[in-house]
């Protein structure tokens, strides 16, 4: 039977796992953003708050959603076309990152390569 509750991992789970956050603060922080009932949010906080995950706020960032395995190749190619670099690559160096022209070629090859539930590797 399908679940009747849906949650957003980053909104509810990660937020519930932040350190030093009392239940009241957690519930206020989610406000009307969450579609989960308060009783479920309270249970999430009770189970996950002891994990005390850590995070970092970064400026000038982009969230990349890679989705399912079928969506991953195109999402990867799109990230290359945007000339994005991982947070650990020093600004201006782009060392280890594909230039946009290479990413465009990879994306073109991915679109023309049949995918039958497997993974296609290109060099």
- CA 16 vs CA 39, 40, 103, 105: distances in Å: 13, 11, 37, 41
- pLDDT 10s digits, 71-111: 888 887 877 777 666 666 666 665 555 555 555 555 555 55
Query: Would the pLDDT of 64 be above 70?
Result: yes
- Between 115 and 71, residue with greater pLDDT: 71
Is the sign of the CA dihedral 87, 89, 92, 97 positive or negative?
negative
pLDDT above 90: percentage of residues in the chain: 24
Query: Does residue 29 surpass a pLDDT of 70?
Result: yes
Tell me which of 118 and 34 has the higher pLDDT.
34
pTM of the entire predicted model: 0.50
DSSP 1-15: ---S----IIIIIIH
């Amino acid at each position: 039977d399908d679940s009747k509750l849906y949650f957003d991992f980053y909104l509810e789970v990660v937020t519930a796992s932040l350190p030093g956050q009392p239940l009241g603060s957690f519930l206020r922080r989610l406000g009307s953003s969450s579609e989960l009932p308060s009783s479920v949010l309270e249970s999430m906080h009770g189970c996950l708050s002891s994990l005390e995950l850590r995070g970092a706020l970064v400026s000038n960032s982009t969230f990349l959603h890679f989705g399912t395995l079928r969506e991953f190749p195109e999402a990867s190619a799109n990230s290359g076309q945007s000339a994005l670099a991982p947070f650990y690559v020093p600004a201006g160096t782009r060392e280890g990152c594909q230039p946009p022209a290479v990413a465009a070629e990879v994306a073109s090859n991915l679109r023309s390569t049949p995918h039958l539930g497997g993974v296609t590797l290109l060099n």
